[in-house]
Amino acid sequence: MSRKIDLQVHELVKRFDAFTAVDRVSFDVHQGKFFSILGPSGCGKTTLLRMISGFIEPTAGTIAIRGRDMLGIPPNKRPVNLIFQHLALFPMMNVAENIAFGLRRRGERGAVITQKVESILERVGLPGYGDKQVHQLSGGQRQRVAIARSLVLEPAVLLLDEPLGALDLKLREQMKVELKTLQAQVGTTFIYITHDQSEALIMSDFVAVMNKGRFEQMDKPQNLYAKPATPFVASFVGDNNAWDGMVTGRENDRVTVQTQNGNTCHIRTDQKFAPGDKVRVFLRPEAMLIEPDASIPSLNRFQVVVRSILFNGANSSILVHPREGTGQEKELIVALPQNRQYDHVKKGDVLEIGWDEKSGICFAGD
Ligand code: ATP
């Protein structure tokens, strides 16, 4: 069964004089999905969101919400609601009054409001919180009240502009999980913008990676990580080792790449590289195996010296550099397995590293 489409954006462009902030962006979001737009500061995320919410007019392209063209429709008449980083709850009002505010402005009155406020508080997991003052709430509870205040207006789409940005690290971690759970519970379509890849990967059904006004890849979080479509996506989503090289041989899908330091490695790729092509190779830290079993074929192997240990609990890693080098090679990051079998590794140790030919990702270089 195909789900309905809540938001359709087609060939959307926004120019500010000669500068193109959003450049022919197209995407559909199906009902009930958590869709994130992930990109660095200045890539055009906020501009895109402001066009959807109606605060700025597109230079070209169309936006349709639930099949209705939004051209010329003012923000307050669009079936969307926007939540900012600063939640902007009214400090002088209690929780119920905060939530009722939009309903009153829309002309609703009396028992209908009371019933809607109670029901939405229930849905966001804050039953009975209506009488509390805003200052009595934790950061996470304020977040939920802000969402309740938007959801009570029953928008087709909820737009969230880096809503966790102002929270401290611990609360942000907790809220990532809470927001995802909340979205699944209420079933409203969320469009979430962030520059934080871990937020996007953890919470979303789909993520669009945006760079310089364009979408470079739109995919499930797992695919963005495993099969990045461009070098930008590979370097922006997750940690990666990257190096430049040149193709020196090819046999079916197996290319031989000589790195700038004169080392050779083999990579399986479905791209049609030929000898002489410049390439950029990406490799995830966890794809590097420490002291791999000598019997495993298809591994690129080399010796490294440990430069430093990056302890981070279960996600610890080491920085290494190739042993035979001049000392000028870029350091490589190698994830340590979670079973702590390498607790004894220390700076200066020489280790053998191996990585499977299939785990390298190869793009055309420049
Ligand atoms: P951040 O995460 O820092 O908010 P962003 O990805 O949301 O960044 P935008 O705020 O959409 O980026 O801005 C995209 C680009 O458009 C930036 O280079 C910005 O300077 C430019 N820009 C945004 N609004 C205007 C405007 N009103 N006039 C001129 N340039 C603008």
Ordered structural domains, the chain, with CATH? 5-236 (3.40.50.300), 241-364 (2.40.50.100)
- Compute the mean pLDDT over every residue in the chain, rounded to the nearest whole number: 90
216: pLDDT confidence band, cut at 50, 70 and 90? very high
Q: Is this prediction's ipTM beyond 0.90? A: yes
Ligand 1 and 201: CB distance under 6 A: no
- Count of positions (residues) in the chain: 366
Task: Find out whether the beta carbon of 43 lies less than 6 Å from any atom of ligand 1.
Answer: yes
Q: 3-class DSSP state for residue 334?
A: strand
Nearest in space to 182 (alpha carbons), one of 121, 101, 92, 268:
121
Name the helix (H) or strand (E) containing 102.
helix 95-105
Asked whether 45 lines ligand 1 (CB < 6 A), one says: yes
Residues 248 and 256 sit within 8 Å (Cβ to Cβ):
yes
- Confidence at residue 32, expressed as pLDDT on a 0 to 100 scale: 95
Ligand 1 atom closest to Cα of residue 19: 30
Which has more pLDDT, 325 or 308?
308
Instruction: Give the DSSP per-residue string, 120-171.
Output: HHHHTT-TT-TT-BGGGS-HHHHHHHHHHHHHTT--SEEEEESTTTTS-HHH
The one-letter amino acid code at 296 reads I
* CA angle in degrees (0–180, nearest 5) for 334-336-337: 135
Q: How far is the CA of 49 from the centre of ligand 1 (A)?
A: 11
Higher-pLDDT residue of 144, 256:
256
> Whose C-alpha lies nearest to ligand 1, atom 25?
16
Nearest-CA residue for atom 29 of ligand 1: 16
Mean pLDDT on 187-199:
94
Pocket flag, ligand 1, residue 38 (CB < 6 Å): no
Task: Indicate which atom in ligand 1 lies nearest the CA of residue 213.
Answer: 14
Q: Does residue 18 line the site of ligand 1, with CB under 6 A?
A: no
Q: Where are the beta strands (DSSP E) in 109-156?
A: none
pTM value? 0.88
* Local structure of 146: helix, strand or coil: helix
Angle subtended at Cα 200 by Cα 194 and Cα 205, rounded to the nearest 5 degrees: 130
Distance, CA of 220 to chain centre:
10
Pairing, β 19-30 against β 157-161: unpaired
Query: How far is Cα 348 from Cα 359, in angstroms, rounded to an integer?
Result: 27
